[in-house]
Amino acid sequence: MGVPEKLAARMSMAEQHEYLRARFSRRNMMRGGAVTVGAVVGSTFIPGATAQAAVPGQRTATASATATEKVDGALVAPFGRHLAYGADPRTEMTVSWQVPVAVSKPYIRIGAHPWDLSRKIEAEVRTLFTPAGVGASGDHTQYYLHAKLTHLRPGRTYYYGVGHQGFDPAEAHLLGTLGTFTTAPAHKAPFTFTAFGDEGVSYHGLANDSLILAQNPSFHLHAGDIAYADPAGQGKATDTGFDSRIWDQFLAQTEYVAKSVPWMVSYGNHDMEAWYSPNGYGGEEARWQLPENGPDKANLPGVYTFTHGNTAIISLDANDVSFEIPANLGISGGTQTSWLETQLKKYRASKDIDFIVIFFHHCAYCTSTAHSSEGGVRQEWVPLFEKYTVDLVINGHNHQYERTDVIKGNAVAKKLPIGGTAYPETDGVVYVTAGAAGRSLYAFTAPDSYEGHENDVESVSAFICLKDGAKQAETVAWSRVRYLNYSFLRVDVTPAAKGKLTTLKVRGIAETGGEIDHFTVARRAK
């Protein structure tokens, strides 16, 4: 995006943002004839602000395209629908979508039946402008729409349609555009969720999406590096391959799953985009509406928590603690880690919560030859995972499937063979790297070892990323399952009566549909 390489290597995300804003300032943009001031200032999404639907700013005579005017709404179909839970999945859901051009009066219709969509709610519009010269997508405006639904009934399936003036989803010829979602139940009941990281836009991502839909999950966890509009992922503004339009392709690819399955994301290094905001997440805030119950929405909008049945889910932002890619290192000033401990303490004390599942991008434990393990995560969060006996940690970042034995104190506390059972209350924590959703695969130093093709080894050579780019070699014994191909995670949660064993049954599933791993996490129900 135009920062000299040596300079970019020393710049934080906030410094890169300041550099880009200065370079593409009002004066410089006017001098270059790229766009007018209104396009740069008025159409760029500002986190926390609500923008109204508007066309891209009027271009000057020297611009590469002429001004775009509003078109007949009947000719514009919404796309890229995706759901997200609110802070209370029993009663709150956000429906988000996109339109290719500006529309008037966008809204959502919702009801208990497809023939009864009388409830009509106005949608919020967030416009996101990328000027020429910022990556490859220059002079491009995107329109994202969000409708927050509250006071829903637990365990109820709703029908919905998204529209705008001229496009009414309740009309008979548009009923095929309707979607559905189901709120979380009010009581403890069995459910399934799925997870992966590092998807992007590809055939493999599409294939994994289709398999996920077939699992009928209550929700899906995406452990960061979502669309790869920024293909370098180093938090550097030199990445001229940045293309904001990749997000349009990604949301279209995932729509047939995400329009009915809440798509809960955490943010990875490829999700920091320097142009839009000092923390790199301004673009993400335009595209996603996540629960707003984290410690620092201004700096860490991807940190939040929600509960479903007897299970608490926590999304963390590992960019805040990453030694390997330090563009946002320390951005929370320690508030994220303090908040994490508060949440863990609360959930462990709750009579309604049995399991705690945490997902984030950078791996705590992995033997990949690419990124391997993140020292910042081990330093800041792993001690808390062990202190509060976290049941399952899900990561991405490394593009493969790897599952550890039960770990405590950076060592094997208990071997966990395929088909085995872990008891976190006494044993330790199990970590799964599920980063093979769709992007190109990495490599291991040890041979693959997975269900039906087990190849146990006593130790595996790996490394851990430390401060200032240092890498420390380590030889580990905790790498239990390794699978170098496309895959995702399925977790079946089964509650139990007080004092009985409640379980998480975790399965690694390959893009072929075959099972590559399975194990159980069990504890006494409260």
Give φ, ψ of 449 to 5 degrees.
-150, 110
Residues of the chain with pLDDT > 70: what percent?
Answer: 88
| 153 within some domain | no
* Cα 256 from Cα 212, distance rounded (Å): 11
Count: domains in the chain: 1
Phi, psi of 51 (to 5 degrees): -95, 145
List, in order, residues 6 or more apart from 126 with CB less than 8 Å away.
Answer: 45, 50, 51, 143, 144, 145, 146, 285, 286, 287
User: Given the structure tokens 């209550």, which residue do they identify?
Assistant: 218
pLDDT value at 59 more than 80: no
CA distance 376 to 373: 9
Q: Does residue 3 belong to any structural domain of this protein? A: no
Q: Which structural domain range is residue 476 located in?
A: 198-205+222-226+302-486
Q: Which residues pair with 433 in a beta bridge?
A: 395, 402
Radius of gyration of the chain (CA): 23
d(CA 192, CA 340): 24
Confidence at residue 316, expressed as pLDDT on a 0 to 100 scale: 98
Whether 89 is in a domain gets the answer no
Q: Residue 430: pLDDT above 50?
A: yes
Q: What is the mean pLDDT of residues 130-137?
A: 82
pLDDT at 323 over 90: yes
Average pLDDT of the residues in 190-203: 97
- Position 30 scores a pLDDT of 37
Q: Are 515 and 508 contacting, i.e. CB atoms less than 8 angstroms apart?
A: yes
At 240, the pLDDT band (50, 70, 90 cuts) reads low
How much is the pLDDT for 242?
A: 87
Nearest to 102 by CA among 59, 67, 68: 68
The model's pTM: 0.91
Q: What is the DSSP letter of 444?
A: B
What's the average model confidence in pLDDT over 221-227? 97
pLDDT value at residue 20:
80
> For the residues of 42-74, what is the DSSP string, one character each?
ISS--TT--BPP-PPPPPPTTSSSPPP----GG
Residue 317, domain member (yes or no): yes
- For the chain, how many residues are written? 526
Note the pLDDT of residue 234.
Answer: 63
In this prediction, residue 233 carries a pLDDT of: 66
Task: Give residue 21's pLDDT band: very low, low, confident or very high (50, 70, 90).
Answer: confident
> 12 pLDDT exceeds 70?
yes
pLDDT at 134: 84
CA distance to 90, 322, 389, per residue, from 344 (Å): 21, 21, 9
> Is 270 inside a domain boundary?
no
Check pLDDT > 90 for residue 432. yes
pLDDT, one tens digit per residue, over 109-126 is 999 999 999 899 999 999
**pLDDT given at position 231:** 83
**Tokens at 357, concatenated:** 């599942």
Contact 434, 196 (CB under 8 A): yes
Question: pLDDT tens for residues 22-53?
Answer: 877 544 443 333 332 222 233 344 343 333 33
Average pLDDT over residues 423-429: 96
Pairing state between β 355-359 and 311-315:
parallel
The pLDDT value recorded for residue 237 is: 53
Q: What is the pLDDT of residue 350?
A: 97
Whether pLDDT at 66 is above 80? no
Single-letter residue type at 140: H
Mean pLDDT within 379-386: 98
Beta-carbon count within 10 A of 6 CB: 8
Pick from 211, 213, 245: which is nearest to 228 by CA?
Answer: 245
Report the CATH number that the domain containing residue 324 is assigned in CATH.
Answer: 3.30.750.180
pLDDT at 175 over 80: yes
236: confidence class by pLDDT, cuts 50, 70, 90: low
Q: Cα–Cα distance between 466 and 470 in angstroms, integer?
A: 5
In a domain, 351, yes or no: yes
The CA distances from residue 375 to 322, 325, 457, in Å, are 7, 11, 24
Out of 172-181, 318-327, 398-407, 421-430, which region has the weakest mean confidence (pLDDT)?
Answer: 172-181
pLDDT in tens, 466-516: 999 899 999 999 999 999 999 999 999 999 999 999 999 999 999 999 999
Contact by Cβ (8 Å): 107, 97: no
Residue 423 in any domain: the answer is yes
Closest CA to 218 of 162, 257, 256: 257
The pLDDT tens digits of the residues spanning 153-163 come to 999 999 999 99
- For 342-352, what is the mean pLDDT? 97
Cβ-count burial of 384 within 10 angstroms (0-12 exposed, 13-18 middle, 19+ buried)? middle
- Lowest mean pLDDT segment, chosen from 14-18, 74-78, 114-118, 376-380: 14-18
Q: What is the pLDDT of residue 137?
A: 72
| pLDDT above 80 for 63 | no
343 part of a folded domain = yes
d(CA 261, CA 181) in angstroms, rounded, equals: 7
Q: Rounded mean pLDDT of the chain?
A: 89
- The phi, psi pair for 227, rounded to 5°, reads -110, -25
What sections of 164-321 are H helices per DSSP?
203-214, 246-258, 282-287
